Structure 1
Amino acid sequence: MIFRSPLALRRGGATAAQPAARRASGRAAPRRPAAIVAERASLGVGADALQIAPIINGCWQLAGGHGREVFEGVQDKLAAHARAGLTTFDTADIYGPSESILGEFQEAWTAQGNPPVQILTKYVPNIFQQRVTPAAVEAAVRRSLAALRTERLDLVQLHWWDYKIPGMVDAALALADLQSKGLIRGVGATNIDVPALQKLVDAGVPVVSNQVQFSLLDRRPLNGMLQYAQSKGIKLLAYGPVGGGLLSDKFVEEPKKGLLGGVKFSNVDLNTSSLKMYYGVVKRFGGQELWRRLLVTLRAVADKHSASVAAVALAWVMAQGGGGVVHPIVGVRGTQHIQDNAQALALALDAGDLAAIGAVLAEAAGPDGDIYSFERAG
């Protein structure tokens, strides 16, 4: 997931949202979607490999800044995803109350006799204000253990704000040491580019995953990351696979002629943090006109398969690398995405579909470079 600056995160509105999450616990449960039957994916190798759902539930929205409705009936929303077979959740130690909400859910879920869900968290040290020592790493891991109400974390993904600040490899090795002590099941990375990921691997860190932005709008992982990850058996966990909702039926629109020539489209209400962030990617992709053309193409492919635009976008991401390498993360803002996820898992894009989509992508301007590059400069 893309992160805001450490200071902005400390000031975020997460604490104000906590009462809403608690008040929502008494709301009626939503209608149960049908269970999704799909092959599980493995993070790691051997008997201790973590088995996850092929599509992961993202909990960045629980950090705040995405509308208070995200917290309404949040426990019911989490349960709806788990009941549907989407049992893997992604969070971070800087996502406001997200870890605590998931810890509460896990406890209630297993108390009902259900097997535990998988919770992937992150270690995001504020390297600008603190020295990252093994003791600091362990303290952060123990805070996540307490918040998630567990004795071992399924996966801890390391994020490093600035490669010019030393300590990234040592922090990853400290996580690996905690793995050997049984506090962590797997070690991953997030927003780590190829040279940095190679440093971790060469140092002996058993990295099983790297979380990167990956979508039809942002294909930067194809510039070397996917190839390197495949060569090392590292899975890519793809956030933003539907561009915060910008790759969905909601925004499909044929162009209209402007009064002064050219084309025009309806205004996009960028009313959440994710929409603002991903619209910045749209601008680098080629602007509104190319984005809308992509949506019209996706709608035609979706109609052919009786699916949604979001399902096609997800299916494209999952097909990269030949399948089984990239696992998209879709936000749990509500339960409406469960059907899109089910369609995506059942959808096989054919050569004609890929050619039609590829014709639009060939005109894209960017984003350029390796993963998470312009964001670091900003």
Structure 2
Amino acid sequence: MLRHRAFSAAAPARRAGRATHVAASAAPLMLERASFKSDPTYKFAPLINGCWQLAGGHGREVYTDIQAKLEAHAAAGFTSFDTADIYGPSEEILGQFIRAHTAAGGAPLQVFSKYVPNIFQQRPTPAAVEEAVRRSMAKLQVSQLDLVQLHWWEYSIPGMTDVALALADCQAKGLIRFVGTTNMDTAALAKIVDAGVDVAVNQVQFSLLDRRPLNGMLQYCGERGIKLFTYGSVGGGLLSDKYDEQPRSGLFGKPQYTPVDLNTSSLKMYWNVVKQFGGQELWRELLGVLRRVADKHGVSMANVSLRWVMQQGDGATVHPIVGLRGTSHIADNARTLSFSLDAADMAALGAVLGRASGPRGDAYSFERGG
């Protein structure tokens, strides 16, 4: 279980027994920092700001005052950002932010990127890998990338391990500080590790709705000191207060809820996970338990969803990535670090999870057609 230092976020405001969002504090939070196994001096925030929404598909408002939004998160203590070379203009936007933040004397930032080659068109050579790394360095305006996470679309296409080794060569040249992977299943990750690549992290989907990392991945990483960065841990909002509502009585007394507006690419993706989990009825039941646990601790349902993920394994391996759209959730994110779920909470959630039908398999399995 994680141990936390004191932090300065105010206790959640309460109205009618429900947690509400409050404005972010100007004072930085006293977050207990995490580190990778190979360099304990390098520290990053326990919750990571996800910048995939800058890739598009989430509305133009995401880009409005984006530099101020990024600075607000960093000023609050959330100094770690996750991006990718395929996330539209995200690297350029973060590069502008890094330059301004550093010039103003801000706290050190950690920017984690990804290398996602189009292996369907051409197999990457070591030179192409280094070129891509240098391209990300230029966009981010840094002399060394903090972390590059390799994604490989299709295992049947050869070259995955060779490209991981090419990234390790870039690390040896000082172009990259840490090498990681993303969406690798346990067998693929093991191949890369066995080839001699010092993998610092694997980024996978992991939530109450999608527990595939429990099918071997979490144990493998925990035993080797490999971190898990997790996306989708609040299901694009599907595991938050936003969808907490009392049903209306419908035809033949069947409960009716407001239809879910799948208005972003993330929601469409996570709704597919809901269907594999057991459908809308079981999801709604899970939301009910989340509500009760959240009220017990005086936090939000999203806080409970994130805490559940963070407490899996040894409590120090999993670090969720939380999407950065605005600043209204900064204080709420901080409350995730203010409490722990107890055995009764875990049992209540487990009673619902025990009836889930999926998703099955290892990380990123059905997405690859498995």
**TM-score (norm: length of structure 1):** 0.90
CA contact (8 A) 1:254 1:292 kept: no
Q: Distance in 2 between matches of 1:55 and 1:362?
A: 27
Q: Which 4+ stretches in 1 moved above 4 angstroms? A: 30-34
Return the letter of the residue paired with 2:91. Answer: E
Return the alpha-carbon distance in structure 2 between the equivalents of residues 36 and 218 of structure 1. 30
Q: Amino acid of the residue matched to residue 158 of structure 2?
A: P
Shift of 1:260: 3.8
Q: Distance in 1 between matches of 2:148 and 2:196?
A: 16
**Which secondary structure does the structure 2 equivalent of 1:77 belong to?**
helix
In 1, are the aligned partners of 2:24 and 2:76 still within 8 Å (CA)?
no
Structure 2 unaligned spans of 5+: 1-22
**1:38 maps to 2:28:** no
Distance 1:212 1:136 in 2: 25
CA distance in 1: counterparts of 2:112 and 2:25, whole angstroms: 24
Could you tell me whether the CA contact under 8 Å between 1:106 and 1:116 is conserved in 2? no
Q: Name the aligned partner's letter for residue 64 of structure 1.
A: G
Asked if the contact 1:247–1:309 (Cα under 8 Å) also holds between the matched residues in 2, the reply is: yes
Find the residue that maps to 1:329 and give its secondary structure.
Answer: strand
Helix, strand or coil for the counterpart of 1:274? helix
Instruction: Select the residue among 347, 367, 370 that pairs with 1:375.
Output: 367
Q: Distance in 2 between matches of 1:80 and 1:346?
A: 20
1:102-126 CA deviation, whole Å, 9 max, x = no partner? 0000000010011331000000000
2:263 matched residue in structure 1: 271
Q: How does 1:189-208 map to 2 (within 5 A)?
A: 189-208=181-200
Is the CA contact (8 Å cut-off) linking 2:25 and 2:331 kept in structure 1?
A: no
Out of 51, 60, 79, the position equivalent to 1:59 is 51
1:211 aligns with 2:203: yes
Q: Which runs of 5+ in 1 are unaligned?
A: 1-29
The one-letter code of the counterpart of 1:105 is F
User: Is 2:115 the partner of 1:123?
Assistant: yes
The structure with more helix, counted as a fraction of residues: 1
In 2, Cα distance between equivalents of 1:181 and 1:336: 41
Residues 34, 244 of structure 1: CA spacing in aligned structure 2 closer, same or farther, 3 A cutoff?
farther
Deviation digits for residues 81-103 of structure 1 (CA, Å, limit 9, x no counterpart): 00110000000000000000000
Q: Is the 8 A contact 1:145 1:151 kept in 2?
A: yes
SS at match of 2:261: coil
Structure 2 distance, partners of 1:35, 1:306, is 22
1:168 corresponds in structure 2 to 160
TM-score (norm 2): 0.92
SS at 2:262's partner residue? coil
Corresponding residue of 2:4: none
- CA distance in structure 2 between the aligned counterparts of 1:64 and 1:220, rounded to whole angstroms: 27
Residue of structure 2 in register with 1:152 after alignment: 144
What is the match of residue 335 of structure 2?
343
Query: Match of 1:143, SS?
Result: helix
CA contact 1:253–1:296 (8 Å) conserved in 2: no
Give, in angstroms, the shift of residue 261 of structure 1: 4.8
Q: 5 Å matches for 1:250-261?
A: 250-261=242-253
Of 276, 279, 288, 1:287 maps to 279
Contact 1:153 1:184 in 2 (8 A): yes
Matched with 1:95 is 87
Which amino acid counterpart does residue 319 of structure 1 have in structure 2? Answer: Q
> What is the root-mean-square deviation in Å for CA atoms of aligned residues?
1.3
Structure 1 CA distance, aligned partners of 2:26 and 2:279? 36
Distance 1:373 1:61 in 2: 23
C-alpha displacement of 1:265: 1.6
Q: Distance in 2 between matches of 1:34 and 1:182?
A: 34
Count of residue pairs brought into register by the alignment: 348
**Which residue of 1 is the match for residue 70 of structure 2?**
78
